[in-house]
């Protein structure tokens, strides 16, 4: 069941995001849910990058060797995936071009099958859910899965 943001956290959210975020959330219900869920994720003050990559490398140990600068690139990758998913929700015009460029650039990291992109997106949603713990809701989950489905189509086109 959707719990909403606890009042104390809501105040913190307003302070930190400011008027721009508040306006955006009223403009787009889906983006509002995504933002709210990230707030639930950040409530535990945990960096999700190590959590994501621990699971990713456990599932695909061979991929570890392709990350030559993990301290820089792992965080950048998680951030880029999140930004792209959020950008899709607010119909940011840069998203299709950015994804196309990223998929092309990723060819230099070896043969990354399309299924691995899909898996990485699903894994990121699972990572968010685990990091948020009991704050995670089915509404958050559905919102991220909707965005992932859209991004998967975009990645498939560029692949």
Asked if 84 interacts with ligand HEM (CB under 6 A), we say: yes
CB 30 within 8 A of CB 148: no
Which H, E and C letters describe 29-59, residue by residue?
HHHHHHHHHHHHHHCCCCCHHHHHHHHHHHH
User: Does residue 149 interact with ligand HEM by CB under 6 A?
Assistant: no
Helical ranges in the chain per DSSP H: 7-27, 29-42, 48-59, 70-89, 94-106, 114-132, 138-158
Site map 20..59 versus ligand HEM, x via CB under 6 A: ----------------------------------------
Lookup: tokens for 66: 């392709």
**63 vs 139, beta carbon nearer ligand HEM:** 63
Stretch that binds ligand HEM, among 5-13, 17-25, 113-121, 136-144 (CB under 6 A): 113-121
Contact footprint for ligand HEM (CB under 6 A): 63, 66-70, 73, 76-77, 80-81, 84, 102, 106, 109, 112, 116-117, 120, 155
């Amino acid at each position: 069941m959707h719990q909403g943001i606890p009042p104390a956290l809501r105040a913190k959210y307003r302070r930190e995001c400011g008027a721009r975020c508040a306006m955006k959330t009223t403009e787009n219900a889906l983006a509002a849910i995504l933002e709210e869920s990230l707030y639930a994720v950040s409530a535990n003050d945990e960096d999700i990058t190590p959590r994501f990559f621990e699971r990713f490398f456990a599932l695909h140990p061979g991929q570890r060797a392709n990350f030559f600068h993990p301290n820089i690139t792992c965080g950048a990758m998680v951030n880029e995936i999140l930004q792209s998913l959020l950008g899709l929700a607010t119909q940011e015009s840069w998203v299709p071009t950015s994804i196309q460029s990223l998929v092309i650039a990723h060819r230099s990291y070896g043969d990354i099958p399309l299924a691995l992109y899909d898996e990485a997106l699903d894994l990121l949603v699972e990572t968010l859910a685990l990091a948020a713990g009991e704050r995670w809701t089915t509404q958050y989950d559905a919102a991220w899965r909707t965005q992932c489905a859209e991004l998967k189509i975009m990645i498939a086109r560029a692949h």
